[in-house]
Amino acid sequence: MEILVHGAVTSAIYAMLAVGFTLVFGVARILNLAHGAFYAMGAYLTYLFAVVLKLPLLAAAVLAIGITALFGLLVERVLIRPQRSSAMAVMMVTLALSLVVEQGLLVTFGSEVINVPAFVDTKLAVFGADIGGQQMLALVVAVVALAVLWLLVQHTRAGAAVLAISQDPLAAQYMGIPIDRVYGRVVAVAAALAALAGVMAGPFLSTSPHMALPALTKAFAIVIVGGLGSLPGSIMAAILLGFAETAVAYLVSSSWTEVVSLTAVLLTLLLRPAGLRGKQAAF
């Protein structure tokens, strides 16, 4: 039961990370290697506003997510948009940005692990398994956030534009859809989701300036297993890897959890290179 409960929490965090990453690829056909930096910014900005500046935690979290989303929008306009014609150039410039953010956090906050404040400090008993209240809140928030994203994409005009561009950007442009504006919004939404994951997971996971690269690696592994550009595939892969890693941590050792995702990536590339739903549309 503990594996099921904690595996659900891990899967929820992974899903928030991976969905934003694959959303950008599914719509803009680029790999944003600064995605892990958005995750780190969410946790560190919450710490800055709540602990250093003494703002209420909810206000600090909202500010952290909003600023990270605006930063993502700025990144798309200034760094990604001029290089969009070259996938390699986008990867290089976003990787460089991730390193800059990491060094900025290191210089500003130091190399030690920080304690991001939790919304809920109490312990809960769920189906006989002990779990932290913050972890349970992270699970609920992740499910709500992903459900809201799905509804926005499926039932709004902005979502229809995203769907159109993900299927045929040239035809969407001929129909008058402002593709540059949509690309910017998609990167901003992806940044907000990653920041939300950082806000929710920061209190119970290790928060350090070096957290961006492991988060990016995990998101990339999930996207490969689920299929590049497929949101349902990413969610399926997040659930699969989340439960698998939790089971290995409980039954074998936590030091073996990284082997699970790497093995899943290797098997996927060997047996099904397109991923679980790689040949499906983004939505």
Q: DSSP secondary structure string, 144-208?
A: HHHHHHHHHHHHSHHHHHHHHHHH-HHHHHHTT--HHHHHHHHHHHHHHHHHHHHHHHTTTS---
Report how far apart the first and last C-alpha atoms of the chain are (Å, whole number): 32
Q: Which DSSP letter does residue 71 get?
A: H
Q: Which residues contact 13 (CB under 8 A, 6 or more apart)?
A: 138, 142, 197, 200, 201, 205, 242
pLDDT one-digit tens code per residue, 13-29? 999 999 999 899 888 88
- β-sheet bridge partners, residue 129: 126
Kindly report which listed range (6-10, 149-153, 217-221, 278-282) carries the lowest average pLDDT score.
Answer: 278-282
Determine the pLDDT at residue 107: 93
Instruction: Compare 272 and 239 and report the one with higher pLDDT.
Output: 239
Residue 276 DSSP code: T
What confidence category does residue 174 fall into, taking pLDDT thresholds of 50, 70 and 90? confident
Domain ranges of the chain: 10-119+127-210
Residues 56, 117: contact at Cβ < 8 Å? no
Q: What H or E segment, with its residue span, contains residue 129?
A: strand 129-132
Model pLDDT for residues 115-144, shown as the tens digit of each residue: 899 999 888 887 777 888 899 999 999 999
Sorting pLDDT into bands at 50, 70 and 90, what band is 87?
A: confident
Contacts of 241 (CB under 8 A, 6+ apart): 11, 14, 218, 221, 222, 225, 260, 261, 264
User: Alpha-carbon distance 39 to 44, whole Å?
Assistant: 9
Span 136-153, average pLDDT: 93
